[in-house]
């Protein structure tokens, strides 16, 4: 990257950090920071355009669709507004906004592959932060934020027939492992992402085994 691009990344980092202060659902600045750092690691291995990767990673949760009635246009719209305000060229804006629009998991039936290596890198980086020890912590933080129970054994994991159903679901956070988190390892799109996901996936399986054993009074 050239010096101007480095300055833009620094400006974007400060912009999004201020915007996300006080967020408590697991989509705070430190989530964005981890995704940004993971995207750098994956992007370098996958030979992606690191400038595009960093902008998309930093702006990917500027307005998560889950908090806007499932509207996937708000995030890309706000990202475009910000990037235009600092005079970024249209080709870069369009690429970043396409990544942001397609990034989030919306249910297994609605999964679509990213079309560029940069998109694959940022999606994998975001999904790495949804699994493993940090992913478990974020899962329960989000559940508390939206009023979902930790676990209700009388409610089974769901197969969602629409994005709206997925967004509105409050079936419990243990169910969320089976509805989303345990699928993410196999949905990674880069070789680096696949490798990094293996250990985190195993950690979640061990956690669930321990959780359910305690729940059933076996330990």
Identify the pLDDT of residue 71.
65
**What CATH class does 3-215 carry?**
mainly alpha
**DSSP character at residue 64:** -
Identify the pLDDT of residue 188.
96
**At a CB cut-off of 8 Å and minimum separation 6, what does 182 contact?**
201, 204, 205
CA distance 204 to 100: 27
Per-residue pLDDT tens, the chain, 219 aa: give them.
899 999 999 999 999 999 888 777 778 999 999 999 999 999 999 999 999 999 999 999 987 655 445 566 788 999 999 999 999 999 999 999 999 998 888 777 778 889 999 999 999 999 999 999 999 999 999 999 888 999 999 999 988 777 777 777 788 899 999 999 999 999 999 999 999 999 999 999 999 999 999 999 987
Identify the pLDDT of residue 68.
47
**At a CB cut-off of 8 Å and minimum separation 6, what does 94 contact?**
none
Contact indicator for 148, 155 with CB cutoff of 8 Å: no
Identify the pLDDT of residue 66.
56
Identify the pLDDT of residue 170.
80
pTM for this entry? 0.91
Contact indicator for 25, 146 with CB cutoff of 8 Å: yes
- Residue ranges per structural domain of the chain: 3-215
């Amino acid at each position: 990257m050239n010096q101007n691009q480095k300055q833009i990344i620094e400006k974007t980092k400060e912009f999004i950090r201020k915007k996300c202060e006080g967020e408590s659902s697991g989509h705070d600045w430190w989530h964005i920071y981890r995704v940004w750092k993971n995207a750098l690691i994956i992007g370098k291995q996958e030979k992606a355009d690191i400038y595009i990767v960093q902008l998309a990673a930093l702006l990917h949760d500027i307005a998560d669709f889950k908090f806007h009635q499932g509207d996937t246009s708000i995030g890309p719209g706000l990202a475009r507004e910000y990037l235009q305000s600092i005079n970024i060229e249209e080709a870069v804006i369009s690429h970043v906004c396409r990544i942001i629009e397609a990034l989030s998991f919306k249910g297994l039936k609605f999964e679509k592959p990213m079309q560029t290596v940069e998109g694959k890198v940022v999606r994998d980086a975001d999904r790495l932060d949804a699994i493993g020890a940090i992913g478990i912590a974020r899962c329960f933080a989000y559940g508390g934020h939206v009023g979902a129970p930790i676990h209700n054994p009388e409610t089974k994991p769901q197969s969602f027939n629409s994005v709206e159903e997925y967004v509105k679901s409050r079936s419990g956070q243990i169910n969320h492992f089976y509805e989303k988190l345990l699928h993410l390892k196999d949905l990674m799109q880069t070789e680096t992402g696949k490798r990094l996901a293996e250990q985190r996936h195993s950690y979640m399986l061990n956690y669930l085994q321990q959780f359910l054993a305690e729940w059933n009074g076996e330990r």
